[in-house]
Structure 1
Amino acid sequence: MSPHAETIADWLLAGLELKSTIFHVGQYCGAWQASTAGRHRASFHLALHGECWLHLPANAERAAQSVRLAAGDAVFLLHDMPHCLSPDPRPPARGQESGRLGSMSPLSSPDDPRQPADGSVGIACGFFEFNSGLDDMLLSLLPDYIVARRDNPSLDGARAIFDLIRAEALRDVQTPSPLIARLTDLLFVYVLRAAAGRDEIAPCFWSLMRRAQFAPLVAAIIEAPAERWTTDTMANFVHMSRARFCKQFVEISGQPPAHFVTLVRMKMAAAMLRGGSSLPDAAERVGYQSESAFAQAFKRVTGVQPGAYRRRAVQPAAQSATLQNTASVSPPSFTALH
């Protein structure tokens, strides 16, 4: 990963509050089709053993796709979107992309000599969500799905995490371990860091990092959000005309440059408010001289006023500190009676 991409990935991951939940862990044999679509949540699938295919129907931004998943591969679907997994490389009939067929059985025990069953596919599926209160903003910066390959050199560390996930899944094949969800959180962090290297991702924030002329600009905006980042300033930074800059920026990232700058600023402002910064201080540090203009921009992006966001974020921290202080008080001593 380039130094600029590293800066950008670390910035996005900072303050990312991800929570995964396991839906089911098991294996399929024969003809089957599985999907987590239709539950209005982002989801993931981990191939524990065997191989299968991820089928994604066409939408306005991409053609229909069928992606092979082998043991150790993972897919993160960052939106609730039509899809399915199946053992067939051919996609299902139109309108059946999110259908379900067959039943999942428990994973074969590691002590079972038949393990894994011939032709079986072991899968761990679940859901995840961002808890930072900036879900829509964060998701707008990411591709709609990410496939992580076990043999990707950028995911060396992730392979150890996957091995731990599989070990946890096999510890008790009847009851999924709660540690699988926590390990999946960590796996997603590794996957997100490697997403910048994907060639096939649709236009999004990460696409900018693959362009030599845009990655330094994005890093500069993140490092100095209070600067006056007008369209002309950004075009001059990358040595382009205003028209060419705007056209290429939208084609690559899927959003206009001014909107991107606002997203960067509001993410940073949210982090400062969670840390207890005052509204005027947060506004000034992300480039707003007017507190009212800052409040309008913050609500437009997050859906809540900055004051309400700060109170909601600071109160739990204050309550936690109070509990810790209470716990640290020494209990009263008593004189032993003889």
Structure 2
Amino acid sequence: MPYHSSEPYLPSAVPMDALSEVLQDFRLSGVSYGRCELQHPWGIGFAEQPLLRFHFVSKGPCWIHTDEFGWQELNDGDLVLLPQGNAHRLASAPDVAGDTLKSCQVTRFGGNVCEMVQDGTGPTSTLFVGSMALGARALHPLISLMPSIIKSRDIEANDPMVGPLLAAMTAEAAQPRMGGATILSRMADLLTARLIRCWVDCTSSSTTGWLAAIRDVHVGRALAAMHRDPGNNWTVESLAGVAGQSRSVFAERFSALLGEGAAHYLTRWRMQLAQEWLGQSGTAVAEVAARLGYESEASFARAFKRTTGASPGAVRRELSGQTAIEFGL
């Protein structure tokens, strides 16, 4: 594998709990988020997007509709995650038609934080909504395995900290205060990480696949190491050392769990990261190549095209030209 790194990876730095290693740098990068004061009747449609959706109901009424589950009522203090950003709708009641977003008074506080207010005749709903990207790229394979919607009430009993955190968010979202959106976004980081961990803990054990691999006491350590340091000079031998196994035993176990060899998985993961980084404004191809440990831009370009079927430059131009999603709608 044509990669290099100036610093050796130390197996002793990888903890035994691979899931904790993956969650260690969990962050939600707020593409946009805001506090909503909406008086009944109101309804907002959210189109499908490749970003995690987040909705917190400080005070209802509030209902959510998805194609998979139909209408579901959300109570005060409820938090819902839509990990894959599936299309859905929020409304003060299931029979509210249309989209009232255009009638809202929107106040921006700088960056991508805003407050939305809509006058009406009925009770006021107070919501904190967000459209977010995952800062911890190691979580992406896990997110793809999660259900389309996760509600805090369904797993709250499995984590005693979720209830108090939701209560704190309710108090913070109850009224607009200086720095409120920032504080809420930090709480969202912690809550989302805990909900993801609860979901993993409560999910039935799988015998194969990414979730089974990250739970494996040996392969999980190597998998977490690859995700946290993708530019390191990994070889099957060095990964086996992190896993605490012989080369042959590790290679066989990795392939049995994930259906592909470690080298192939690592290359595919690096190219996924490359596509993400190439879409970021101002990120040069040479910089991406260096971050992923390639000795030259040319060697990276060859590997990228071999894996994705397109050149890095073409992908960078395509992704950089896409319009940013405004308020996640």
Higher Cα Rg, which structure: 1
1:61-210 to structure 2, matched below 5 A, reads: 64=69, 69-85=74-90, 100=97, 122-130=125-133, 142-143=143-144, 145=148, 147=150, 149=152, 151=156, 154=159, 156=161, 159-160=164-165, 162-171=166-175, 179-194=179-194, 195-198=196-199, 199=202, 208-210=213-215
Deviation, 1:46, is: 0.8
Question: The residue matched to 2:258 in structure 1 has which SS?
Answer: helix
TM-score (norm 2): 0.52
Counterpart in 2 of 1:25? 37
Question: The residue matched to 1:171 in structure 2 has which SS?
Answer: coil
Change (3 A) 1:155 1:6: farther
Change (3 A) 1:12 1:293: farther
- Letter of the aligned partner of 2:233 in structure 1? A
Question: Could you say which structure has the greater relative contact order, defined with CA pairs below 8 angstroms and 6 or more residues apart?
Answer: 2
1:251-290 to structure 2, matched below 5 A, reads: 260-262=265-267, 265=270, 267=273, 286-290=292-296
What are structure 2's unaligned runs of at least 5 residues? Answer: 1-14, 105-121, 321-329
Counterpart in 2 of 1:45? 55
Distance in 2 between the 1:75 and 1:229 partners?
Answer: 40
Distance in 2 between the 1:7 and 1:270 partners?
Answer: 21
Change (3 A) 1:282 1:103: closer
Distance in 1 between the 2:209 and 2:21 partners?
Answer: 17
What are structure 1's unaligned runs of at least 5 residues? Answer: 59-63, 107-118, 313-338
Counterpart in 2 of 1:331? none
Distance in 1 between the 2:248 and 2:70 partners?
Answer: 34
Deviation, 1:4, is: 1.8
Distance in 2 between the 1:55 and 1:294 partners?
Answer: 44
Deviation, 1:218, is: 1.5
Distance in 2 between the 1:65 and 1:73 partners?
Answer: 17
Counterpart in 1 of 2:7? none
Counterpart in 1 of 2:67? 57
Deviation, 1:288, is: 3.6
| CA root-mean-square deviation | 5.7
- Letter of the aligned partner of 2:79 in structure 1? A
Question: The residue matched to 1:226 in structure 2 has which SS?
Answer: coil
Match of 2:226 among 216, 221, 241: 221
Distance in 2 between the 1:156 and 1:86 partners?
Answer: 29
TM-score (norm 1): 0.51
Distance in 1 between the 2:80 and 2:23 partners?
Answer: 19
- Letter of the aligned partner of 1:166 in structure 2? T
Percent of paired sites with the same residue: 19
Distance in 2 between the 1:7 and 1:296 partners?
Answer: 31
Query: Does the CA-based 8 Å contact 1:227-1:287 persist in structure 2?
Result: no
Deviations 1:83-107 (A, max 9, x none): 234688xxx8xxx9xx846979x9x
Match of 2:300 among 270, 294, 297: 294
Distance in 1 between the 2:190 and 2:163 partners?
Answer: 6
Deviations 1:141-192 (A, max 9, x none): 52465635263554727844x44543344325xxxx6745323421332134
Counterpart in 1 of 2:109? none
Distance in 2 between the 1:40 and 1:186 partners?
Answer: 22
Q: Which has the higher strand share?
A: 2
Deviation, 1:10, is: 1.8
